[in-house]
Amino acid sequence: MSKVNDIKNMKRQQKTISPAQALAETVGEENNVDLNEEINETRKGEKKVERKRVSFDLRTDLHKELKMESLIREKNIYILIEEALEKYLRESK
């Protein structure tokens, strides 16, 4: 059975599944529930950050790599971009 079919079957069996979980094949109903509760607790404790919506063009190959990295790390793309910009600005001083 292919990896795509495995992911589809897992999605049918449970309501939520992250791409990294599907690729790692460590998804279980208990683990998924615990993970969701852990994520919700983390979000409650986080401080609201003011953000500004921006728009810019990006090479297609970079965008594709960024999307894959966000799936692997289970982070939003904008968070990866913010982290990279913060690192760049710290190093440029």
| Per-residue model confidence (pLDDT) at position 5 | 79
* pTM higher than the cut 0.85: no
pLDDT per 10-residue tile (average), the chain, 93 residues: 73 66 59 58 68 93 93 92 95 91
Length in residues, the chain: 93
Chain centroid, CA 63 distance in Å: 14
| Per-residue model confidence (pLDDT) at position 32 | 53
Token output for 56: 């810019």
| Per-residue model confidence (pLDDT) at position 27 | 46
| Per-residue model confidence (pLDDT) at position 35 | 58
